[in-house]
Amino acid sequence: MNLDFALPLVFASLPLPLLMAWLLPRAPAPGGAALRLPFYRALHASMGEGRATRSRPQLLLATLAWVLLVTAAARPQMLGEPVQLPVSGRDLLLAVDISGSMETEDMVLGKQVASRLAAVKYVASDFIERRQGDRIGLILFGDQAYLQTPLTFDRKTAATQLDEAAIGLAGKRTAIGDAIGLAIKRLREQPQENRVLVLLTDGENTAGTVEPLKAADIAASEGVRIYTIGVGADERIVSGFFGRRRVANSELDEATLTAIAEKTGGRYFRARDIAGLEEIYQLLDKLEPASEADEVFRPVHELYRWPLGGALLTSLLLATLAGGLLRRRLHQAAAGEVDLA
């Protein structure tokens, strides 16, 4: 945050009162008294005695009021941090499977076994952070699909809401077709160019009202490119009555995911581990590069109200002080007249 002035040349008017006092001729003294007071001499003597004590605080307050008024006229502003605005960006939706099977722990994250969803969160958060200039949205799906984050330039919020996603929040089964349908509905409201959906799942379509391939046909007609990612190791360890054993991961419907991608002009990827996921996201960055942001915007907060308010308060204080001094001297003069009598 930086302090700046929209009209700094206004400060050149600060010495104006001194110049006017020096250059302009003094007003002529009045020829006669408009009002004769019986205690005039006492009033005049009282004002003469208090002139020194009166002028200094009043002069200081008047100077302060003038400086604050000129400062307000110069329009002080607080400039926020520069924000880069994209000239054109992609509308990119991430559709993440949070069905029950995504809690399967067949990934390795930091030398520790992790669930598939934990691996997706870890890698996708970095992918989202790199998409500067794109509008990012998040769809979570299980038995149903729902929009967790609308399309936004706020990548931090999108990454946070992905990190907060929980297994089973949308049901235990997998509605791939419904997720694609919801993405089409949201992307349809955006400009036709650069509509992209990245869909991550570890299974096959077992729920929902829309068939995945039918949804892919609609996506193709709407200009939505879909990149599908199959998540999960080729084998996983299962604990049973006879101990732990390895079984093949046969739940993933790679044929359907490949067909969805091909119909819409995208590609299908297989993510067997963390390294595979990272390579896929790096490849996506090349296939769908983020837009370059070459316009900069700085939020401006106007601050002129504060010095203007200070000038008004100082003027009121000056007027109150002057009125109090005048009343006190009138009382002193009246007292002197009574004594003379």
The string of DSSP codes covering 280-301 is: HHHHHHHHSPPPP--EEE--EE
Contact 62, 107 (CB under 8 A): no
Is residue 110 located within the same domain as residue 183? yes
Does residue 29 form part of some domain?
Answer: no
The alpha-helical segments, DSSP class H, found in 74-134 are 116-130
Please tell me whether residue 222 adopts helix, strand or coil conformation: coil
193: how many CB neighbours lie within 10 A of its CB? 10
Would you report the helix, strand and coil content of the chain in percent, each value rounded to 5? Answer: 45, 20, 30
What pLDDT sits at residue 225?
93
Is residue 329 located within the same domain as residue 289? no
Please tell me whether residue 1 adopts helix, strand or coil conformation: coil
What pLDDT sits at residue 52?
44
Domain that holds residue 195: 89-295
Does residue 31 form part of some domain?
Answer: no
What's the structural domain count of the chain? Answer: 2
Is residue 264 located within the same domain as residue 318? no
Q: CA angle, 142 as apex, 141 and 147 as ends, to 5°?
A: 25
Q: What is the largest CA-CA distance in the chain?
A: 124
Per-residue pLDDT of the chain (341 residues; tens, 9 = 90+): 688 899 999 999 999 988 888 888 876 655 555 555 554 554 455 444 444 444 688 888 889 999 999 999 999 999 887 766 555 568 899 999 999 888 888 788 877 888 889 989 988 988 998 888 788 999 999 999 999 999 998 899 999 999 999 887 878 889 999 999 999 999 988 877 778 999 999 888 988 899 999 999 999 999 999 999 998 877 655 555 545 555 545 578 889 999 999 999 999 998 888 888 888 888 888 888 766 555 666 788 899 999 999 999 999 988 888 777 767 766 766 665 444 34
What pLDDT sits at residue 43?
47
Is residue 126 located within the same domain as residue 158? yes
**CATH assignment of the domain containing 209:** 3.40.50.410
How far is it, in rounded angstroms, from Cα 340 to Cα 338?
A: 5
Is residue 10 located within the same domain as residue 107? no
Is residue 50 located within the same domain as residue 148? no
Does residue 321 form part of some domain?
Answer: yes
Burial of residue 170, with CB atoms counted within 10 A of its CB: 0-12 exposed, 13-18 middle, 19 or more buried: buried
Is residue 313 located within the same domain as residue 172? no
Cα dihedral value 225, 260, 247, 166, nearest 10: 50
Is residue 155 located within the same domain as residue 168? yes
54: how many CB neighbours lie within 10 A of its CB? 17
What pLDDT sits at residue 296?
66
- To which H or E segment does residue 306 belong? helix 305-340
Cβ neighbors of 211 (< 8 A, separation 6 or more) are: 177, 205
What pLDDT sits at residue 258?
95
Strands 2-5 and 76-79: antiparallel
Please tell me whether residue 127 adopts helix, strand or coil conformation: helix
What pLDDT sits at residue 243?
52
Question: In 3D, which of 281, 247, 309 has the Cα closest to residue 119?
Answer: 281
Is residue 163 located within the same domain as residue 211? yes
Question: In 3D, which of 193, 208, 201 has the Cα closest to residue 146?
Answer: 208
Question: In 3D, which of 147, 144, 146 has the Cα closest to residue 136?
Answer: 147
What pLDDT sits at residue 312?
93
Is residue 52 located within the same domain as residue 103? no
Does residue 148 form part of some domain?
Answer: yes
How far is it, in rounded angstroms, from Cα 336 to Cα 276?
A: 101
Does residue 84 form part of some domain?
Answer: no
> How many residues would you count in the chain?
341
What pLDDT sits at residue 100?
87
User: How far does Cα 29 stand from its chain's mean position?
Assistant: 63
Does residue 265 form part of some domain?
Answer: yes
Does residue 156 form part of some domain?
Answer: yes
Is residue 65 located within the same domain as residue 210? no
pTM: 0.59
What pLDDT sits at residue 50?
45
Is residue 12 located within the same domain as residue 129? no
How far is it, in rounded angstroms, from Cα 337 to Cα 341?
A: 6
What pLDDT sits at residue 237?
53
Backbone angles phi, psi at 78, to 5 degrees: -105, 115
